[in-house]
Amino acid sequence: MSERVVIITTGGTIAMVTDPVTGASIPAQEANRHVANVKGLKEIARIEHIEFSNIPSPYINSSTMWNLSRLVSKTLEIEDVAGVVITHGTDTLEETAYFLDLTVDSEKPIVCTAAMRNIDEMGTDGPRNVLSSVRVVMNPIARNMGTMVCLNDEIHAARDVTKTYTSNVATFDSPGHGPLGIVDDDVVIFFRKPLLRAVFNVERIEDRVALVKTFTGDDGLILHSLPELGYRGVVLESFGRGNVPVEVFHVVKYLIEEKKIPVVITSRCFKGRVLGVYGYIGGGKSLAEIGAIFAQELSSTKARIKLMVIMGITDCRDDIERLFRLTLKGV
């Protein structure tokens, strides 16, 4: 057992207990250390614990993700480190995982995990999730898989996974894609590899990227206010294949042509690609013609993360579109 697995704890429900007075879930002192001392870990690998933070995941921001990415990159450069497990709150886990997938350039596996139940609740899922995640890291097939998410004995690609249930332990799923594999007791089984990955070597990110969801009757005033609020990029969650109300179309045109702000189009549907199919004003084809960038099948939250990273490299609209389409397998 020569290789180490480093468990980096950030907080979240997995490191919370129930307040005996209020009944609310709150961060607990020393809880992160408990996570790293789960029974059975030492039989799988040598474990090292780094406490990065102990905060609820809604407190995670772009600066937190950037600092975590730098720590993970530095940790994986150590020769005898097999990989990293990161514990995190479930609310924003999918965003942090995808940020790491885009910004950490390493063959070694990164596995993010969490819990839906406090460590003092009946049936707490945290210890099992940590144990399964370490098993994934130690599996040789996990190399070159990028960042993965492992909960409830399922392994998901960071690009695809999302939280689907507010309270159930079986909350994480990859709609339209399915899991990469499973952990069956002490056996890790992979079904497929993530092919649509990209890694960007960036020195900075652009955190002034907005995410706006259009709606029936949307007059575009929210979008129109973004330049005055200091936003430099926007992800617009549209209808269906990538369609918006006509009033919103005109604001998108204004943002792209007059304010030179990149606008990335996603869909409120959780399966399928956005594409310039419909030619009416506000249809996807009309948006493509004025320079809107289509995020393919990325979710809105993932598209925002990717735009933040890419705008750390360039603010040129054509380059942003090219990099949005880039994968490790080519364009």
Q: Which residues are catalytic?
A: 13
- The 10 Å Cβ neighbour count of residue 318 is 10
Pick the closest to residue 216 from 180, 184, 240, 192 (CA basis): 240
Alpha-carbon distances, residue 227 vs 25, 33, 221, 291, 303 (angstroms): 38, 44, 12, 17, 19
Give the HSE-up count for residue 115: Cα atoms under 13 Å, Cβ half-sphere: 29
Structure tokens at 238: 């549209």
Phi, psi of 16 (to 5 degrees): -115, 160
Q: How far is CA 270 from the centre of its chain?
A: 15
Q: Determine whether 184 is exposed, middle or buried from the number of CB atoms within 10 Å of its CB (0-12, 13-18, 19+).
A: exposed
> What's the length of the chain?
331
Q: Which H or E run contains 51?
A: strand 46-51
Please state, in angstroms and rounded to a whole number, the distance separating the CA atoms of residues 219 and 217.
6
| 8 neighbors 68 (Cβ within 8 angstroms) | yes
Q: How far is CA 191 from the centre of its chain?
A: 21
Q: In what order do the strands lie in the sheet with 233-238?
A: 209-213, 233-238, 263-267, 293-294
Compute the Cα dihedral for 312, 201, 110, 163 and give only its sign: positive
Please state, in angstroms and rounded to a whole number, the distance separating the CA atoms of residues 120 and 171.
20
